[in-house]
């Protein structure tokens, strides 16, 4: 089950490091058994991605057909929900893949900080999924690339990253490793790879918006991007449930 009653809060750090936040509280918390992944035993053994958007309430209590939803009762990404019509409208997140703009749903995360920043449900059950193998054979995940300290400024065409998002400038504009139908190994489960521009890259003005994974990995190979605090770049061990729903171009 999922408890939607907590009030989501995120307190940014002081610049130049708004990320990581000094305090955070996810707005929805799943119990130890909750997962958005549903295995249907009597229908071919398929796995469905079915995030809970409301729990333990009547249809009348969540009849927000015209919007103005009560987020103590429903998922924070719900724009409107109308049980009578069996419809729900969800807000989308902008990002990039293969240098193409995309929109995706962001619904669940395995880590409390990620859940608070993404404004999604904390789903600790997702920690059971094996990470660190990208989209290799038998892997259930793809990679999503985020930057801790990318360019900031609402008028900056290069804006990107968690510093910018925590300053209220918009979404972090993350980069996903694959989208349908361009990647036959696509998965909506994303293994978070968090990058940090080095001080040398910042001093030389090399930071810019990156929109596809091989450009990012090239910057890593050249030493301009590392993991947080200069650690090796790679998986953080955090899973985010982010089905891609639209691509431009």
Tokens, residue 11: 């307190």
Over residues 82-89, the mean pLDDT reads 97
Cβ burial, residue 205 (10 Å; 0-12/13-18/19+)? exposed
Instruction: Considering only the C-alpha atoms of the chain, give the largest distance between any 2 of them, rounded to a whole number of Å.
Output: 59
**Residue at token pair 């990039």:** 96
**Nearest Cα to Cα of residue 74 among 116, 118, 113, 27:** 27
Question: Where does the pLDDT of residue 116 fall: very low under 50, low under 70, confident under 90, or very high at 90 and above?
Answer: very high
DSSP string, 184-196: TT--SEEEEEEEE
The structure's pTM equals 0.94
Task: Flag whether pLDDT at 138 surpasses 90.
Answer: no
Tell me whether residue 49 is exposed, middle or buried, using C-beta atoms within 10 angstroms of its C-beta: 0 to 12, 13 to 18, 19 or more. Answer: middle
Cβ contact 245:135 at 8 Å: no
Looking at residue 133, its pLDDT comes to 87
Residue (of 168, 156, 155) closest to 208 by Cα position: 156
Q: What are the start-end ranges of the E strands in the chain?
A: 2-3, 9-11, 23-25, 28-30, 37-39, 47-49, 78-82, 87-90, 93-97, 100-104, 108-109, 121-122, 142-147, 175-176, 189-197, 225-226, 235-241, 244-247
Q: What is the DSSP letter of 118?
A: H
Nearest to 162 by CA among 131, 195, 201, 133: 195
pLDDT tens, position by position, 202-232: 999 999 999 999 999 999 999 999 999 999 9
184 has a pLDDT exceeding 90: no
CA distance 140 to 154: 36
């Amino acid at each position: 089950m999922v408890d939607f009653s907590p009030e989501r809060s995120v307190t940014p750090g002081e610049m130049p490091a708004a990320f990581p936040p000094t305090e955070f509280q996810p707005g929805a918390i799943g119990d130890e058994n909750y997962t958005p992944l549903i295995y249907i035993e009597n229908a071919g053994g398929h796995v469905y991605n079915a995030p809970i958007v409301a729990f333990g309430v009547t249809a009348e209590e969540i009849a927000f057909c015209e919007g103005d939803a009560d987020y103590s009762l429903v998922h924070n990404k719900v724009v409107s929900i109308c049980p009578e019509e069996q419809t729900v409208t969800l807000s989308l997140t902008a990002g990039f893949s293969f240098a193409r703009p995309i929109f995706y749903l962001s619904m669940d995360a395995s880590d409390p900080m990620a859940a608070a920043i993404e404004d999604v449900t904390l789903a600790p059950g997702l920690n059971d999924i094996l990470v660190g193998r990208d989209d290799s054979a038998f892997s259930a995940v793809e990679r999503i690339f985020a930057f801790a300290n990318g360019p900031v400024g609402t008028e900056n065409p290069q804006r990107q990253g968690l510093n910018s998002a925590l300053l209220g400038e918009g979404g972090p504009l993350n980069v996903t490793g694959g989208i349908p139908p361009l990647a036959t190994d696509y998965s909506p489960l994303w293994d978070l790879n968090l990058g940090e521009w080095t001080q040398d890259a910042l001093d030389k003005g090399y930071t810019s918006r990156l929109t596809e994974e091989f450009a990012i990995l090239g910057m890593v190979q050249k030493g301009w991007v590392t993991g947080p605090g200069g650690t090796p770049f790679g998986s953080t061990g955090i899973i985010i449930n982010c089905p891609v729903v639209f691509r431009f171009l």
